[in-house]
């Protein structure tokens, strides 16, 4: 087979695109813990291979979204094709970037299915972290070849030998295979590129077989429609070809095929082993299922690829517009967001106290925060968000099993046979000095100890089984503060386990505020109820009448507080006739009240809805 075949159709169109033989392609991703330098290394790859010029170099090109750049976290994948010469041969390398946060680990497994290898990037001053271990195992399970790299060796705090020993211990790699580089200065980056070519196998695949391509992501472009990210496994895909999504069973005609370099560049054809995009006048993002197999409709492949499982939201919360007439605007904004984030879900709901809004499902708390920020930034809506909760499973006395994601949906205690909550297996990677503190933290949170493993005399892996609801509260923040930032965690879902759970209601001025209801373990109900009421007392302003706050389980009130009455007249001091001054003060007061919800006669601020979350003593 010739090394490089000029594609006839492209040549005819005057396009200079060439189709490399699969032996000259390498597909890989980078596995790294957050902040270990993945985006910086990816940028170096672009720079070193001349994909972008130093002039165009803009830090973290691959983190396309503003918000991502601002927060410095990669959320969605942006693949990129680069060319690297090794021993006189030009290789096409496709990098599929992956995020490093626990909430987005499903994105990592998506990108792995499109690769034959992964660069395992570890910060030389921080060492292996929980997420790195989890993702490295995932890669090994997926038969990916691991290229271990120690980054940030330019830092004075770098301890390469120690960290390599940790990598050997934690992931079971050979220390001699570990490359050293600095993504910041560019030192050693060429060696990493060489190792990608030398160590990662070329993609398998038969260029003459019927088209079989994996859909590993997609995005919606308001001008072009849906852009489908594909990895071609067998055959070729060309402009004009009739294609079919095997799960979705819809047919389309390809209008454009190209690569990310790093912006989208048409190339007319992609063949076995290559990574790129295709467009086919697909108007609706729902028609494209991530993990689906794309094939030729005339000459289809007979076996579809094993798809991914759609990630299930684990954390839910209600989102309400402050002004009820902004409901439609909120619906539109949510629909727009969903276009590019299939893991986010929303369904309309109404709450007696809050009016009309949506129940939204997120992968985790960070995901939730990001969505809220995007909404506020992109559509100028004032929103009130209720405290998050996890999904529960109920076995009812009539034998029915019901999944609920909203405390309001919990039926009478009499009709529940078993109340089950999600449990996760959580791994902490932390300094050994902190083991005791984290153990007692987990014990307080109803965790069950599993085991401890030492990576080195100073660092250990601690494993617990714990209810997810206890994790989403503030476990991550607690871990960070106890370990002064050195501890990390990762968790995987185990299943639903029965527990003695009850719904705790909150009554404000004798009216149940359903958005403040929470599901708690009975043993914690009284303590949580009391704390919650005290917190609410701080958050809710005094009104012109006395406001009673109560926490109750069913009809039984377990805590009560009262907010005394007051009349607050902000313009009282502006005696005299200057109406403009008064107007200014009124305007200021109104702005301060923006994120308030009127429940009955009482105004409840956003903070009050979130206070349900806090568990601090």
Ligand X SMILES: Nc1nc2c(ncn2[C@@H]2O[C@H](COP(=O)(O)OP(=O)(O)OP(=O)(O)O)[C@@H](O)[C@H]2O)c(=O)[nH]1
**Site residues, ligand X (CB under 6 A):** 32, 34-40, 72-74, 100, 151-152, 154-155, 182-184
Q: 39 vs 385, which CB is nearer to ligand X?
A: 39
Which residue, 100 or 605, has its beta carbon nearer to ligand X? 100
- Taking the complex as a whole, the smallest distance from the CB of residue 106 to ligand X amounts, in Å, to 15
Helix H or strand E encompassing 76? none
Annotated binding residue 478 = no
Tell me: is residue 36 an annotated ligand-binding position: yes
Instruction: Identify the three-state secondary structure at position 470.
Output: helix
Q: Which is nearer to ligand X, 135 or 550 (by Cβ)? A: 135
Tell whether residue 325 is among the known ligand binding residues.
no
β-pairing verdict for 117-123 and 212-221: unpaired
Retrieve residue 419's tokens.
């109340």
Of 65 and 379, CB closest to ligand X: 65
Contact 122, 146 (CB under 8 A): no
Residue 39 counted as an annotated binding residue:
yes
Secondary structure (H, E, C), 207-218: CCCCCEEEEEEE
CB-nearer residue toward ligand X: 352 or 477: 477
CB of 405 to ligand X, least distance (A): 28
Q: Residue 509 contacts by C-beta under 8 Å, 6 or more apart in sequence?
A: 547, 548, 599, 600, 601, 602
For residues 489 and 102, the answer to whether their CB atoms sit within 8 Å is yes
Nearest CA to 100 out of 129, 69, 126 is that of 129
Distances (CA, A) of 116 to 170, 462, 588: 22, 31, 59
Q: Give me the least distance between CB of 103 and ligand X, in Å please.
A: 12
- Closest contact distance (angstroms) between CB of 58 and ligand X is 13
Interatomic CA distance for residues 147 and 165, integer angstroms:
16
Would you say 151 or 386 has its CB closer to ligand X?
151
593 among the known binding-site residues?
A: no
35 is in an annotated binding site: yes
- Nearest distance from residue 193's CB to ligand X, in Å? 15
Q: Is 185 annotated as a binding residue?
A: no
Counting Cβ atoms within 10 Å, is residue 578 exposed (0-12), middle (13-18) or buried (19+)? exposed
Nearer residue to ligand X within complex by CB, 39 or 269: 39
Answer yes or no: is 38 a known binding residue: yes
Shortest spacing between CB 177 and ligand X, in angstroms: 19
Tell me how far, at minimum, the Cβ of 313 lies from ligand X, in Å: 22
Scanning the structure block, which residue is given the tokens 């929980």?
A: 130
CB proximity list for 497: less than 8 A, separation 6 or greater: 420, 421, 422, 423, 467
């Amino acid at each position: 087979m010739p090394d490089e075949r000029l594609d006839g159709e492209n040549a005819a169109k005057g396009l200079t695109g060439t189709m490399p033989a699969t032996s000259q392609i390498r597909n890989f991703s980078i596995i790294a813990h957050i902040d270990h330098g993945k985006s910086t290394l990816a940028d170096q790859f672009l720079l070193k291979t001349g994909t972008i010029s130093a002039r165009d170099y803009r830090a973290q090109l691959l983190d396309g979204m503003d918000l991502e750049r601002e927060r410095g976290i990669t959320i969605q994948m942006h693949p990129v094709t680069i060319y690297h010469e090794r021993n006189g041969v030009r290789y096409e390398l496709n990098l599929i970037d992956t995020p490093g946060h626990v909430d987005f680990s499903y994105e990592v497994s998506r990108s792995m299915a499109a690769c034959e290898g992964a660069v395992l990037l570890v910060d030389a001053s921080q060492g292996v972290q929980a997420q790195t271990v989890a993702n490295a195992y995932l890669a090994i399970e997926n038969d990916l070849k691991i290229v271990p790299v120690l980054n940030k060796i330019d830092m004075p705090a770098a301890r390469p030998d120690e960290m390599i020993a940790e990598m050997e211990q934690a992931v079971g790699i050979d220390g001699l295979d570990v490359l050293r580089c600095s993504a910041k200065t560019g030192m050693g980056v060429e060696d990493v590129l060489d190792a990608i070519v030398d160590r990662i196998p070329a993609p398998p695949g038969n260029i003459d077989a019927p088209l079989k391509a994996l859909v590993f992501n997609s995005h919606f472009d308001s001008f072009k429609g849906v852009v489908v990210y594909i990895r071609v496994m067998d055959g070729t895909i060309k402009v004009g070809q009739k294609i079919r999504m095997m799960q979705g069973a819809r047919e389309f005609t390809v209008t454009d095929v190209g690569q990310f370099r790093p912006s989208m560049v048409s190339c007319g054809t992609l063949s076995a082993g290559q990574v790129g995009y295709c467009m086919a006048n697909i108007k609706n993002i729902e028609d494209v299922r991530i993990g689906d197999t794309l094939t030729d409709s005339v000459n289809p492949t007979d076996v579809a690829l094993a798809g991914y499982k759609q990630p299930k939201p684990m954390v839910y919360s209600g989102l309400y517009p402050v002004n009820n007439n902004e409901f439609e605007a909120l619906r539109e904004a949510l629909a727009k967001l969903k276009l590019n984030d299939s893991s986010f879900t929303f369904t309309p709901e109404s709450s007696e106290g809050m009016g009309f809004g949506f129940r939204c499902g997120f992968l985790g708390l960070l995901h939730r925060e990001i969505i809220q920020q995007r909404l506020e930034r992109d559509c100028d809506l004032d929103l009130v968000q209720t405290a998050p909760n996890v999904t529960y499973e109920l076995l009812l006395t009539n034998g029915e099993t019901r999944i609920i994601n909203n405390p309001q949906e919990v039926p009478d205690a009499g009709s529940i046979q078993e109340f089950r909550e999600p449990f996760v297996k959580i791994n902490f990677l932390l300094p050994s000095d902190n083991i005791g503190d984290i153990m007692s933290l987990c014990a307080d949170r109803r965790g069950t100890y599993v085991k401890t493993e030492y990576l080195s005399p100073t660092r250990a892996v601690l494993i617990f089984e714990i209810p997810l609801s206890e994790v989403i509260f503030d476990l991550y923040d607690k871990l960070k503060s106890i370990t002064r930032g050195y501890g990390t965690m990762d968790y995987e879902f185990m299943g639903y386990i029965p527990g003695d759970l009850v719904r705790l209601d909150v009554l404000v001025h004798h009216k149940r505020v359903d958005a403040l209801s929470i599901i708690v373990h009975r043993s914690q109900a009284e303590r949580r109820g009391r704390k919650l009421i005290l917190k609410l007392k701080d958050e809710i302003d005094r009104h012109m009448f006395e406001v009673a706050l109560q926490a109750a389980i069913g009809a039984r009130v377990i805590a009560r507080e009262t907010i005394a009455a007051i009349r607050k007249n902000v313009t009282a001091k502006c005696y005299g006739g200057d109406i403009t001054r008064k107007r200014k003060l009124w305007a200021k007061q109104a702005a301060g009240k923006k994120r308030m919800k009127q429940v009955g006669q009482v105004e409840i601020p956003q903070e009050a809805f979130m206070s349900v979350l806090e568990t601090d003593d």
